[in-house]
Structure 1
Amino acid sequence: MCLIAFAYKVHPQYQLIVAANRDEFLDRPTEPARFWPAEPHILAGRDRKAGGTWMGITTSGRFAAVTNYRDLRLPRVEGPSRGVLVRQAMETGFAPENSERYEGFNLLYGTIDRLMYHSNVNGETLDLPPGVHGLSNHLLNTPWPKVLRAKAGLTELVAKGPNVEDLFNLLADRRHAPDQELPDTGLDPERERALSSIRIEMDGYGTRCSTVVMVDRTGVVTFEERVIQPPSVGRFEFSIP
């Protein structure tokens, strides 16, 4: 994922509300979200190149999602795909012990009752407090314009009563940040500007899919993924025991 806004334990009806966009190269082979045939307890999309995923949830209530950390000035690490981290977290419920093997990442993981955050950039591991949080290609709740806009939009939707369509509308925001508010991650200003919108559209790269996950306080999970190109919609509902 490249943008995740989530409301955790702040709504009277929903334990967790997630609105997320996956940004990726358009030619990277991908499977849309489904229950994996060989591991039917996992609901997630799949990166066909490396075999991992960017976000998923299990039938037992384990949730995980990853974003890359973007700073071109950091040394490159030739390691496994970061999508493997999500799969491991859904299987074990834990962050990896050897996180230094990977390029910079942020990992959300745990259960609906206890959600955690780990970054291998600063080594931080947090037991997440209730609240509306945002995560993009820097550390948790870094005040990038797209993160602030997503958090503000989600906060407003939580207050009025969230629904799936409103959450997808939030994820479709194509507005770019003003130049003076752009982060400095080592990219040229034109690319930094193009990446500053909630939904990204660039030549050969952009938002591939948007996903909404809502888990109510009785354990009912609603998971909907909308793939942008080629267009498709996957909607799933199940109950956590």
Structure 2
Amino acid sequence: MCILFFYVNDDADDNGYRLILASNRDESWTRPTKPASFWGTSPECIGGQDEEPGREGGTWLGISKEGKVAAVLNILDIVNPDKKGRGFLVRNFLTSKLSSSCYLKDIMKHREQYNLFHLVLIDLRPKMSIIDYYSNGDGHHNKSHHLPKGFHSFSNAEYGKCWQKEVAGKQKFIQIVKEHGKKTEKEILITSLIQLLTDSTQHKDDPFMKSQCHKLGRPTEGEIMEQRSAIFVWSPSIQFGTRTNTIILVDKNGHCEYMEKTLRTPVNVKNPEWSTFSTSFQLQLDCGVSLDHSK
């Protein structure tokens, strides 16, 4: 279970942000993971990295110094362990020289090699940002979606069937950005976004979540279901939950601030500990990119 909220505004003023992004990664506590850092083999990219055997180097979220942002969210479904790791969808985009449209055309050709996913690609290199989205589970496997600027959210729900925690979280995210989305209020903005990402309010009667679980033969009632209906997931009985909170802020001049909180493992259930990482760097937004989505 994961959740993503982001806002893109190409008309940001000197006190505003061009990109505000907040994300949770929900994962098994036993899955080996490297916290956020610049990647040794691709030092222009930053993000956490999977260390699961056979999935090493993949990631759920990252950004490159060239201004490319990518996130993948798994759609709750039956998992075939023999398929490719979805984390490579993010890594390969960030390390490639391809535009998002070219990259997605290639992914569409190989969509059946992956379990179901939502893939969000944001390109800040051109003056007018490009936001592209593709899912191999939306029924339109040969079509990606060019999203408008503004507010967006994604979770592990099926395409077009947003879970209640995503809907409620998006409304809170919009309110936070409208009230505090200014550089002069950065600390309040970050604090408010962390509060959103750690919101344990449960949405127990979510019809779409229950329907999705029912189709998979999973329980539609009970403790685990209730715990997963919250933005912040905490299921100690199965050693699963929110392990990472990430915030990315980019201003109109391409100055990026990257912040991450990571749950320390092995997890002390009675007294969980979190490590914090933050860094800032300048994006190179003058490298250019083709705006022709037909190429």
Task: Give the TM-score band, short-chain normalised.
Answer: over 0.9
Matching of residue 81 in structure 1 with residue 85 in structure 2:
yes
Deviations 1:68-93 (A, max 9, x none): 01134xx8473111111110111234
Q: Is the 8 A contact 1:199 1:207 kept in 2?
A: yes
Higher helix share: 2
Query: Structure 1 residues 90 and 139, CA, compared in 2 at 3 Å: closer, same or farther?
Result: farther
Q: Counterpart of 2:116 in structure 1: which amino acid?
A: G
Which is worse superposed, 223-232 or 193-202?
A: 223-232
Aligned residues: 239
Please give the root-mean-square deviation of Cα atoms over the aligned residues, in Å.
Answer: 1.9
Q: Counterpart of 1:103 in structure 2: which amino acid?
A: N
The whole-number CA distance in structure 2 between the counterparts of 1:58 and 1:136 is 23
The whole-number CA distance in structure 1 between the counterparts of 2:279 and 2:243 is 19
Q: Counterpart of 1:114 in structure 2: which amino acid?
A: I
Q: CA deviation at 1:60?
A: 0.5
Specify the alignment match of 2:269 in structure 1: none
Specify the alignment match of 2:282 in structure 1: 239
Specify the alignment match of 1:126 in structure 2: 145
The whole-number CA distance in structure 1 between the counterparts of 2:10 and 2:170 is 13
Which residues of 2 match residues 56-67 of structure 1 at below 5 A? 56-67=62-73
Match of 2:201 among 172, 175, 178: 175
Q: Counterpart of 1:214 in structure 2: which amino acid?
A: L
Q: CA deviation at 1:110?
A: 3.6
Specify the alignment match of 1:195 in structure 2: 228
For structure 2, the residue ranges without an aligned partner over 5 or more in a row are: 182-188, 266-273, 285-295
3-state SS of 1:103 partner: coil
Specify the alignment match of 2:94 in structure 1: 90
Q: Is the 8 A contact 1:182 1:192 kept in 2?
A: no
Query: Structure 1 residues 157 and 211, CA, compared in 2 at 3 Å: closer, same or farther?
Result: same
Q: CA deviation at 1:228?
A: 2.2
Specify the alignment match of 1:155 in structure 2: 174
Which is worse superposed, 90-99 or 36-45?
A: 90-99
Matching of residue 44 in structure 1 with residue 47 in structure 2:
yes
Query: Structure 1 residues 221 and 141, CA, compared in 2 at 3 Å: closer, same or farther?
Result: farther
Deviations 1:101-149 (A, max 9, x none): 1000000114122121110112241111012111001256643111012
The whole-number CA distance in structure 1 between the counterparts of 2:145 and 2:248 is 21
Specify the alignment match of 1:145 in structure 2: 164
The whole-number CA distance in structure 1 between the counterparts of 2:10 and 2:255 is 17
Q: CA deviation at 1:181?
A: 4.5
Specify the alignment match of 1:217 in structure 2: 252
3-state SS of 1:27 partner: coil
The whole-number CA distance in structure 1 between the counterparts of 2:10 and 2:173 is 11
For structure 1, the residue ranges without an aligned partner over 5 or more in a row are: none
Query: Structure 1 residues 182 and 119, CA, compared in 2 at 3 Å: closer, same or farther?
Result: closer
Q: Counterpart of 2:88 in structure 1: which amino acid?
A: V
3-state SS of 2:44 partner: strand
3-state SS of 1:149 partner: helix
Specify the alignment match of 1:103 in structure 2: 115
Matching of residue 69 in structure 1 with residue 75 in structure 2:
yes
Q: Is the 8 A contact 2:134 2:145 kept in 1?
A: yes
The whole-number CA distance in structure 2 between the counterparts of 1:143 and 1:180 is 10
The whole-number CA distance in structure 2 between the counterparts of 1:15 and 1:211 is 17
Q: CA deviation at 1:160?
A: 0.7
Deviations 1:32-78 (A, max 9, x none): 00001221011011101112011000010111110001134xx8473
* Structure of greater Rg: 2
Matching of residue 14 in structure 1 with residue 17 in structure 2:
yes
